[in-house]
Amino acid sequence: MGVHRLGATGLADFLLACRHARRQDRQAPAGAQGALSAVRWLARYADCPALQSLVDTPLIASFFSNSLPRDRREAMPLPLCVVAAWEAYMCRPTASSSLAVKLFLGAALCCIHASLRFGDAQRVDVAALQLSTDALRASAWQTKTTRQGQPFALRLFGLSGRSADTAWALHWLQAIAQAK
């Protein structure tokens, strides 16, 4: 069979068979990209314009792209009852928790309520936290998406707070002051 009779669909079928063989058997000699590299090398050095034009078609060139659709891995969302339990734990006056636990839980709640990544929350100057009557405001001096800083805010009372005694953010700020 000549190259001119092979066509782009025939070569694509061959490359798909190479790809599937490679997935089925790791000992297969070459996958689709290896076979396509060999065909490209042959087209160039054998001076075969028909094969070169066949390899340059968009259908065949698509086998070289590694942009296969993938599932995006995302973190599992926390149930609201867990967030509410953390807030209640932060507000318990008789909690026999260590200071480190309160600092960590407060930082986690801050990330949850302000929609921050934990890495971005680590780039917040604690001295620059601004407390108002119903919110806590600050700015991360650098985030994953911007180097200019990103302001954020969170409500003091969270999901279940109604008064100053149940404002988890105030208890977190007290823990931060204790840690200094």
Write the pLDDT tens digit of every residue in 89-112. 888 876 566 888 888 898 898 888
Share the mean pLDDT of the chain.
78
User: What is the per-residue pLDDT for 34?
Assistant: 76
Token match 């968009």: residue? 58
Assess contact for 161 and 91: CB atoms under 8 A.
yes
**Residue 141, token pair as written in the block:** 């001096």
Question: What is the C-alpha to C-alpha distance for residues 93 and 42, in angstroms, rounded to an integer?
Answer: 77
CA gyration radius, the chain: 29
User: What is the per-residue pLDDT for 13?
Assistant: 83
Given a cut of 50, the residues of the chain with pLDDT beneath it are: none
pTM (predicted TM-score): 0.56
Question: What is the C-alpha to C-alpha distance for residues 108 and 121, in angstroms, rounded to an integer?
Answer: 9
DSSP H helices, the chain, are 3-24, 32-45, 49-55, 58-61, 80-91, 99-114, 118-121, 168-179
Assess contact for 133 and 157: CB atoms under 8 A.
no
End-to-end CA distance of the chain: 80
**Residue 69, token pair as written in the block:** 């659709």
Element (H, E) at 25: none
